[in-house]
Structure 1
C-alpha cells in the first residue's frame, strides 16, 4: 500500500451537508413550532379582543416591571441551585455557564412535548462538554428533580402555616394535603433507596448484541448517578430544596404582580392555591409548556376567585409572556452562546 493511498483512507469523511443544515436550523424550527402550538392552544380561549386590549393598555406597568424582576429572581435561584448541587458533587461550575444552561433548558422545556426530560438530557450534555463526568451531570439532574418537588412542598407548608391562624379550614381540604404528602413521601423514598440500594448486577444480562450492551451500560450509569446524588450531605439537600423554594415563590409572586397590574384584588393565599393546582396539572406533558392547559386552568381559577374573564385573561397573558414566551428567544440566544463556546 502506498503512503498516498494510506492517507486517503485514514482521512475523516466529510459531514453530510443535510446534517449541517439541520444542526443550524433545528433551534429556530423548535421555537417556531412552540409559537404555533401556543397560538393553537389559545385560539378561541380569549375574550373580546377590544376589551382585552383595553385591559392590557390600562395595566400598571410598574407591577409588570416587578413581575419581570421576580421572574428573573426565579431563574436566578434555579441557576444558583445548579451551581450549589455541582459544588456539592465536587464540580466547579461558573455562574455564567450555569445561567446559560438554565436559560437554554428552560426554553427547551416550554417548547417541546415532554420538555422536562428533553431539557434534562440537554443539560447533561452541556455539562459533559464543560468537562463534568456523565454520572455527576446525571446525578445533578436527579437531585434537581427531587429538590424541585421538595421546594414546592416547602412553599405549600410554609403558606399553610401562615394562614393557620386566619382560616384553618383551608388546610383541611383533603386534596392538597394528599398531594403534598405524596410528594414528600416520593422525595424521601427516592433518597433513602438511592443510599441503600445495592449495586445493580448487570453481569446477569447477556453481553451479545448492541442493545443489551447499551442496556447494561445505561443501568450501571443510572445507578451510579442515583447513588451519587442521594449520597449528598443533609445540608446540601437542604440548600438545594431552599433554592427551589425561592424559585417557586418568585414565580408565584410573578403571577401575583401580573394580577395586580390589571387590578385583580386576589390575595396571595388564594393565588397560592390556584398556583399549586396548576403546577399539578402542568406535570402531565399534554402540550409543550402546558400551552392551553396551564392558561385555561389559570383563567378558570382566577375567574372562580372573583375576577372577570377579561381581566383574568389579561393577567394570565402578562404572566405567561414573562414566564414562558419571552424565555424562548432568551433561551435560544443562550444555547447559541453555549454552542460557540
Structure 2
C-alpha cells in the first residue's frame, strides 16, 4: 500500500508532470514540422476572413445543437428549461471543461448543479448527464458511418470485402472505449494497489448500471433525437475545421480532413491536459502535414480552429457563468420521477 507521503507527493506533482508529458509529446510529434515564423504569420494574417466568419458561425451552431440536445433530454425527463438558460450552461460548462485537467468531469458536475437550480431533481440531473454522454458517442458513431459511406462512394471497389465495416466498427468501439476509460480515469483510484482491478471492475459495472437505468427512462424517439442533435454538434465542429483550412488555402480534401478529425477524437477523449492542449494541436498539425499541407499553413489553420473552438470560449463561458450567478429566480420547471 503506498504511503501517505508518496500519495501527497503525487497529488502535488500530477498536473505539472502531465503538462510536461504533453509538451514532450507535442515536441516529438512536431519534430521536423515546425514552421518558419514568418511563413506562419503570413499564412495566419492572410487568411480569408469570409471563411473564418463561416467557421465562427459553424461553431455557434455546434454549441447550439449541444444546448438544444440538453433541453430535449430534460424535457423527456419532465423538466422545462429555457433556451437562454441552457445556452448559458453550455457555454459555462465548455469553458470549465477546456480549462481544467479533468474538465469534463468538473463541467458535468457544474452543469448538473445548474439544472438542479432550474428545478430538476439530483437524480434527473445525473441521469441526463449519463444519457448525454451516451448520445455523444452515438452521434460520433453516425459521423464515422457517414464518412465511411463517403469513402465507399468514391471507391466502390472497397465494398468487395468486409474491411470497411470492420474499420468503422473498430473506430466506433475504440472511441467509445476512450470515452469510458477517460471518464473512469477522472474518478479517484482505489487506495490499495491490490484492490485496483476489482475497484475498476466495480466502477465499470456501476457506470453500466447507471447508464441502463437512465436510458430505460427514455423512449426510442427521444434517443434518436438526442443522437441526431449530437451528430449535428460533431458535424458542424468538423465543418468549422474544414472552413479554417479553406481560410488559409490548404490543399486537403474534405474526406481527408474528416478522417483526420475523427482520428483526433479518439485521443481527445482521454483527459491528459486541459482542453487537450498540446495533444489535439499536435495531432491535427501532424495529420494535415502528412496529408500534404505545409507546416506553416497547417499550423495557421489549427491555431485559427483552436481559437474559435477552444480559447475564445473561455471568456464567453466566463460571461455566461456570471449571468447564471446573477439569476435570482430559476426558470419555471416541471419535474416528473424517473420511471
Q: Which has the larger radius of gyration?
A: 1
Question: Residues 30-49 of structure 1 correspond to what in structure 2 (within 5 A)?
Answer: 41=23, 47-49=35-37
Q: TM-score, normalised by structure 1?
A: 0.74
Give the conservation status (yes or no) of the 8 Å contact 1:142–1:226: no
Q: Judging changes above 3 Å, is the alpha-carbon distance between structure 1 residues 186 and 307 closer, same or farther for their aligned structure 2 residues?
A: closer
- For the pair 1:179 / 2:171, whether they are aligned, the reply is yes
> What is the distance in 2 between the residues matched to 1:49 and 1:220?
50
Question: Residues 84-103 of structure 1 correspond to what in structure 2 (within 5 A)?
Answer: 84-103=72-91
Residue among 247, 251, 255 paired with 2:233: 247
Q: Judging changes above 3 Å, is the alpha-carbon distance between structure 1 residues 303 and 220 closer, same or farther for their aligned structure 2 residues?
A: closer
Residue among 240, 246, 260 paired with 1:274: 260
The match for 1:212 is none
Question: Residues 55-94 of structure 1 correspond to what in structure 2 (within 5 A)?
Answer: 55-94=43-82
The match for 2:245 is 259
- For the pair 1:327 / 2:313, whether they are aligned, the reply is yes
> What is the distance in 2 between the residues matched to 1:123 and 1:222?
21
Report the CA distance between 1:57 and its aligned residue. 1.4
Q: Judging changes above 3 Å, is the alpha-carbon distance between structure 1 residues 273 and 186 closer, same or farther for their aligned structure 2 residues?
A: closer
Q: Judging changes above 3 Å, is the alpha-carbon distance between structure 1 residues 101 and 226 closer, same or farther for their aligned structure 2 residues?
A: farther
Report the CA distance between 1:53 and its aligned residue. 0.8
> What is the distance in 1 between the residues matched to 2:253 and 2:300?
17
Q: TM-score, normalised by structure 2?
A: 0.74
> What is the distance in 2 between the residues matched to 1:152 and 1:334?
27
Question: Residues 1-341 of structure 1 correspond to what in structure 2 (within 5 A)?
Answer: 41=23, 47-168=35-156, 169=158, 172=163, 175-181=167-173, 227-341=213-327
> What is the distance in 2 between the residues matched to 1:308 and 1:220?
47
Give the conservation status (yes or no) of the 8 Å contact 1:101–1:335: yes
Q: Judging changes above 3 Å, is the alpha-carbon distance between structure 1 residues 221 and 67 closer, same or farther for their aligned structure 2 residues?
A: closer
Report the CA distance between 1:267 and its aligned residue. 1.3
Q: Judging changes above 3 Å, is the alpha-carbon distance between structure 1 residues 184 and 333 closer, same or farther for their aligned structure 2 residues?
A: closer
Give the conservation status (yes or no) of the 8 Å contact 1:78–1:243: yes
Structure 2: where are the runs of 5+ without partners? 1-14, 180-204, 328-339
Give the conservation status (yes or no) of the 8 Å contact 1:67–1:253: yes
Structure 1: where are the runs of 5+ without partners? 1-32, 188-218
Larger displacement relative to structure 2 (175-184 or 153-162)? 175-184
Report the CA distance between 1:181 and its aligned residue. 4.3
